Amino acid sequence: MTLVTVSNLDEVREVVNDAMADRRQVEILASGSKRALGRRCSYDLTMDLSAMTGIIDYQPEELVITLRAGTPMLEVGAALAQARQMLAFEVPDYSHLFDTSGSGTIGGVVATNLSGPRRLTVGAARDYLLGFEAISGRGEAFKSGGRVMKNVTGYDLSKLMTGSFGTLAVMDEITLKTLPSPETSCSLIVEAVDFAAAVSKISGLFATPHEPSSAAILPASLAKEAGLQESSGNDSCVIVVRLEGIPISIGNRLDNLQRLAGGYSLEAPASEALWAKIRDVKLFATPVHDVWKISCAPTDAPSLVKKIEHNHEINYFADWAGGLIWMTSDSNNLGHDLRAALATLSGGFALLVRDSGTTRHTIPPFQPLADPLLALHKRVKAAFDPLAILNAGRMHEGI
Amino acid sequence: MLMPVPDQSVIDKRDSICAKLKTLVPADCVVHSPESMRAFDADALSAYRQLPLAVVLPETVEQIAELMKWCKAAGIKVVPRGAGTSLSGGALPLADAVLLGLGKFNRILEVDYDNRCVVAQPGVTNLAITHAVQAAGFYYAPDPSSQIACSVGGNVAENSGGVHCLKYGLTTNNLLGIEMVTMDGEILRLGGKHLDAGDYDLMGVMTGSEGLLGVVSEVTLRILQKPATQRALLVGFDDTGSAGKAVGDVIAAGIIPAGMEMMDGLAINAAEDFANAGYPRSAAALIIVELDGPEVEVNVLIERVEAIMLAAGASSVKISNSEEERNLFWAGRKSAFPAVGRISPDYLCMDGTIPRRRLPDMMVRMSSLSQKYGLRVANVFHAGDGNLHPLILFDANQPGELKRAEDFGADILRSCVEMGGVLTGEHGVGVEKRDLMDIQFTEEDLKQQQRLKCAFDSDHLLNPGKVFPQLHRCAELGRLHVHKGKMPYPDIPRF
């Protein structure tokens, strides 16, 4: 396989134009930290964007940053931290699951629409992409959005590009909305008799004006490994609720929530360390098995887990108030059963994140799309990449 | 504004088309007498009026699907309409198009407090969502100023904002799922009560697509718990430059207010005449900052914001100490448009966005344009996010003034783009800004957007004549230019 390093969009266009003429399929890659996500396809050519780095413009008081696609997240994080700002959706680092190192690039983060625990309350990567420039699979330069926060001019292609896994166009000059980092944070740790009780307790806490920013649920065994107080019953769970803001506010909200739910608190350092583990899925010690990411309505999560536990030996924990479940198991057919169970509930999806062997040959890593949605996806793909040159097949067959 | 030339052959078949429509929906759901269609001849951009071919008010999603299927097969255009409050002409009828009104889709289907969402039909008003959940302490965050009348389906089509979107986002950030009907008559469900479906974000791209990609037939909206406390500051400045800088200083200090609004001298006085809100009449600029959250937090942040404002040179600062006072601060701002309507026979409301730091430059530019065109302009800004609402005052009864006002507006929007901003922050392109799109976008940018349109609506039947200045046939847009003499579609040589 050929590797081509590109340093700007003009060079990207040349590579795409050549690939169109030769009908060659191109893999788009920067650091490769998320290369294991999605379907495994073979490509004629790998286009390496990791030389396209740098912050083009950062105006903290405008809450806007414009970056080259291959800028490493470490560099992005450092620049933002200096201005006490952040990407509020919390960029996760899945290198632990993929046995890779490095937290990737901003281009990869946008292309995969990966978000962390705060996604529950502040939105996903897709909510923070304001604009971009790109080369389509037609070898044409186009831009969408802008460098301002409020903009409804033309179709919101930023949404479409986020999470499209590089299958539509190659992006550069990515503009994101930033937000001030919270001054401090803490967590409230509360026990619940089981998963269902935990979800319902969290619903109660969110029905108050005390503004939790995230909420996770750890089964007793994982809670114990994470160094949290040991739970009492077999089915018991530990709820972790995060509060962020200025110190006086957090103290006040913590008191109020504790009055409602009991439990004890974790101060900032321990709380931050725990949320980093939740965000990066490091609560699973050393994953040797497949890891699935399931998104569903929070109140569906307990019955989903119960159904699955009936037939499979699993390890799991939940984020997003129950709406995101991380599940690992060496059991066969877990993916099939997850998707079947989701279909009986109010919807959702199961994504194979870590494939410890050859699971993706037996089940599509992305949840299959029903016609006519699949047909529409194909038409959208063709609108940007009619010869299926860019990362073709990464998400679904032909897409 | 030129609209696509109506297809006379369609208009000639109007009677038979109406008869057919009555077989697709109950007969009383088809409105076709000119008198009764009059109510639908414009949206809130009322300078443009047009009677549609017929108005159809379906009652079920299946009826919408059947209607769309038939229109597609018959080559009949469709213009979707929610409550008709678009400020950019997004729901302007076409003489040869069926106007598809969603007014009968007016039910809230489910309130789900445990998952913090509401499932509603698209014709429900924005404010009705909050009314349905406020007893439990919840509300729906996007609050466009038309919220008492505008529909949530229309909010999705326009990606509506409001004064609180600085902190809480636009419609797109508060939408969890939709059901939609395509021009092919297919019913699709996108998103739901879960987050981030892991496919192409078609819901994201439907949001703000101004009725060109599909018809929204159901929405799932995120609801939030009401903040415990809301307090506001009313800050006067003697010059707009310092006021603009103060807005940036607040954000640079790590504070994201729930809303941060600004008005210039003309708008301040018009609003004060109208609402008696206690605004400083001599100030060149007025900033309203609203903070919300737990009481202890708001009280601390109010002090911080006050200090920032004084350091930036504020000439007056008032802080609300009661809900009554806070509402009074807002009363002037919220009545700014009707207040300006009192001092001028007519006005045009513009809607560009600029990077906030360019605000002083923009004020200078606007006052020179005001002199050039001989028309006054009153400025109301969503200062926190750089979204401008200049109100250009004119008298439509004076020959040539409307044209002058429109040219003035176009120059303002040109300036927005030139300063690194965009044509529209929240009102949409519609017909109003359609012909200005090429200021912001290259031909290639616009063609790529239209290719997406073709993926949803290959015959350009859905809301044509809006958003895009030029319509290209999908076959033409799909042509590929491949170099090296190896072109699979050898239409035009690239080199």
Helix (H, G, I), strand (E, B) or coil at B137: coil
The answer to whether residues B431 and B91 touch, using CB atoms and an 8 Å cutoff, is no
Does residue B142 lie in a domain region? yes
Better-predicted residue by pLDDT, B137 or B4 = B137
* Token pair belonging to B455: 């993926």
From chain B, the residues in CB contact with A253 under 8 A are 294
Residue A98 and residue A165 in one domain: yes
Q: Is B226 on the interface with A (CB under 8 A)?
A: yes
Q: Is B259 in CB contact (< 8 Å) with chain A?
A: no
Is the per-residue pLDDT at B285 higher than 70?
Answer: yes
* A381 and A337, same domain (yes or no): no
B17 and B75 share a domain? yes
**Quick check: B411 and B72 in contact, CB under 8 A?**
no
d(CA A58, CA A364) in angstroms, rounded, equals: 39
Which CATH number covers residue A189? Answer: 3.30.70.3450
**CATH at B202:** 3.30.465.10
Q: Using a CB-CB distance cutoff of 8 angstroms, which residues of chain B are in contact with residue A252? A: 294-297
Q: Which of A110, A152, A366 to mutate to test the interface with B (most CBs of B within 10 A)?
A: A152
Nearest to B196 among A63, A157, A295 (CB): A295
CA distance B400 to chain A (A): 28
Q: What are phi and psi of A217, to 5 degrees?
A: -130, 120
Domain-terminating residue out of B39, B73, B101: B101
Residues B207 and B258 in one domain: no
Strand partners, B178: B190, B219
Q: Specify whether A266 is located in the same domain as A386.
A: no
Question: A324-329 and B108-112 as β-strands: parallel, antiparallel, unpaired?
Answer: unpaired
Same domain, yes or no, for B92 and B30?
A: yes
So what's the pLDDT on residue B46?
A: 87
DSSP string, A25-53: -EEEESS-TTTTSS-----SEEEE-TT--
Which range marks the domain in which residue B74 is found? 8-101
Residue A164 sits in which domain range?
1-181+368-399
Contact B121, B218 (CB under 8 A): yes
In this structure, the answer to whether residues B241 and B322 fall within a common structural domain is yes
Residues A128/A80, Cβ–Cβ less than 8 Å: no
Instruction: Give helix B295-311 / helix A247-261 axis angle, nearest 10°.
Output: 170
Within a domain: residue A97? yes
Q: Is residue B330 part of a domain?
A: yes
Asked if A166 and A28 touch (Cβ cutoff 8 Å), the reply is yes
pLDDT at B491 > cutoff 60: no
User: Exposed, middle or buried: residue A19 (CB in 10 Å: 0-12, 13-18, 19+)?
Assistant: buried
Residue A288 pLDDT: 82
Q: Are the CB atoms for B383 and A150 separated by under 8 Å? A: no
> How far is it, in rounded angstroms, from Cα A76 to Cα A86?
9
Q: CATH code at A372?
A: 3.30.465.10
DSSP E strand boundaries for B257-415: 259-264, 285-293, 316-319, 346-349, 377-382, 387-394
Taking contacts as CB-CB distances below 8 angstroms, the residues of chain A near B193 are: 296-298, 300, 346-347
Question: CB pairs below 8 Å between A and B: how many?
Answer: 301
- Residue A335 is predicted with a pLDDT of 96
CATH label of the domain that carries residue A314: 3.30.70.260
Taking chain A, what is the end-to-end CA distance rounded to the nearest angstrom? 21
* Residue B495 forms part of a structural domain: no
Examine the fold and report which residue of A230, A251, A279 is the final residue of a domain before the chain moves on. A279
* Interface contact A345, partner B, CB < 8 A: no
The A residues from 4 to 23 touching B (CB cutoff 8 Å) are 17-18, 20-23
Looking at B61, B84, B101, the residue that finishes a domain is B101
Q: Name the residue in chain A with its Cα closest to that of B250.
A: A61
Same domain, A153 and A16: yes
Question: Looking at the domain assignment, is residue B403 inside a domain?
Answer: yes
Distance CA(B64)–CA(B68), nearest Å, equals 6
Flag residues of chain A having pLDDT under 70.
Answer: 230-231
Residues B275 and B325 in one domain: yes
Contact map slice: A 186-205 vs B, CB within 8 A? 199-200, 203
CB contact under 8 A, A162 and B225: no
Q: Is residue A285 part of a domain?
A: no
User: What is the C-alpha separation between A84 and A77, in angstroms, rounded?
Assistant: 10
**pLDDT per residue as tens digits for the range A234-248:** 789 999 999 999 999
For residue A335, list chain B residues with Cβ-Cβ distance below 8 A: none
Name which of A180, A186, A175, A172 is nearest A149 in CA terms: A175
Q: Is residue A294 part of a domain?
A: yes
Tell me if B466 sits within 8 A of B211, measured CB to CB: yes
State residue B495's pLDDT score. Answer: 33
Q: Is B386 on the interface with A (CB under 8 A)?
A: yes
Q: Is the pLDDT of residue B489 over 60?
A: no
Q: Identify whether B236 is part of a domain.
A: yes
Q: Are residues A239 and A267 in the same domain?
A: yes
Residue A271 has which token pair?
A: 């709380």
Residues B122 and B82 in one domain: no
In a domain, A232, yes or no: yes
**Among B242, B251, B266, which Cα is nearest to B359's?**
B242
Q: Cβ contacts of residue A342 below 8 Å, gap of 6+? A: A294, A296, A300, A304, A348, A349, A350
Which pLDDT band holds residue B484 (cuts at 50, 70, 90)?
low
- Other Cβ atoms within 10 Å of B278 Cβ, number: 14
Same domain, A214 and A126: no
First-to-last alpha carbon distance for chain B, in angstroms, is 37
User: Do B420 and B388 fall within a single domain?
Assistant: yes
B488 is a domain residue: no
Contact residues, B window 93-112, toward A, CB-based 8 Å cutoff: 112
**Non-local CB neighbours of A227 within 8 Å, separated by 6+ positions:** none
Query: What is the least distance, in Å, from the CA of B276 to any CA of chain A?
Result: 30
B3 found inside a domain: no
Q: Is residue B381 part of a domain?
A: yes
- Could you tell me if A51 and A130 lie in one domain? yes
Partners of B194 on chain A (C-beta within 8 Å) are: 295-297, 323, 346-349
- CA nearest B114 in A: which residue? A203
Residue A140 and residue A21 share a domain:
yes
pLDDT in tens, A178-207: 999 999 999 999 999 999 999 999 999 999
Residue A76's contacts (CB-CB under 8 Å, 6 or more residues apart) are A55, A65, A67, A87, A106
Cβ of B481 within 8 Å of Cβ of A395? The answer is no
Is B201 in contact with A59 (Cβ distance < 8 A)? Answer: no
Cite the DSSP H helix spans in chain A.
Answer: 9-22, 73-82, 95-98, 106-112, 119-122, 157-161, 195-206, 220-225, 247-261, 268-279, 301-311, 334-344, 359-362, 373-384
CA B82/CA B99 separation, integer angstroms: 10
Say if residue A75 is in the same domain as residue A107.
Answer: yes
Of A62, A200, A209, the CB nearest to B294: A209
Domain count within chain B? 5
pLDDT digits (tens, 9 = 90+) for B362-400: 999 999 999 999 999 999 999 999 999 999 999 999 999
- Chain B positions in Cβ-Cβ contact with residue A246 (cut-off 8 Å): 297, 300-301
Please judge whether A148 and B184 are an interchain contact, meaning their C-beta atoms are less than 8 angstroms apart: no
Buried b (16+ CB within 10 A) or exposed e, A154-180: bbbbbbbbbbbbbbbbbbbbbbbbbbb
**By C-alpha distance, which of B290, B229, B326 is closest to A249?**
B229
CB contact under 8 A, B249 and A61: yes
Residue B230 sits at φ, ψ, to 5 deg, of -130, 130
Let me know whether B396 and B353 are in one domain: yes
- Given B225, B251, B269, the domain boundary residue is B225
Confidence bin at B492 (pLDDT 50/70/90): very low
Same domain for A248 and A331? no
Give the number of domains in chain A.
3
A29 plus A172 within the same structural domain: yes
Is the omega angle on the peptide bond into residue B257 within 30 degrees of 0, that is, cis? Answer: no
Whether B290 and B326 map to the same domain: the answer is yes
Same domain assignment for residues A29 and A145? yes
Other CB atoms within a 10 A radius of the CB of residue A244 amount to 23
- Same domain, yes or no: B433 and B459: no
Do B245 and B171 share a domain, yes or no?
no
Q: How does strand A237-245 pair with strand A264-266?
A: unpaired
Q: What is the mean pLDDT of chain B?
A: 94
A284 within domain boundaries: no
What CATH number has the domain bearing residue B364? 3.30.70.2740
Does residue B112 sit in the same domain as residue B221? yes
Q: Return the SS3 of A291.
A: strand
Q: What percent of chain B has pLDDT over 90?
A: 91
- Measured between CA atoms, the residue of chain A closest to residue B436 is A153
CA distances from B413 to B46, B110, B417 (A): 20, 41, 6
Q: B452–A157: do the CB atoms touch at under 8 Å?
A: yes
Predicted confidence at residue B485, as pLDDT, reads 53
Interatomic CA distance for residues B197 and B100, integer angstroms: 29
Q: Which chain B residues contact residue A17 at CB under 8 A?
A: 482-483, 494
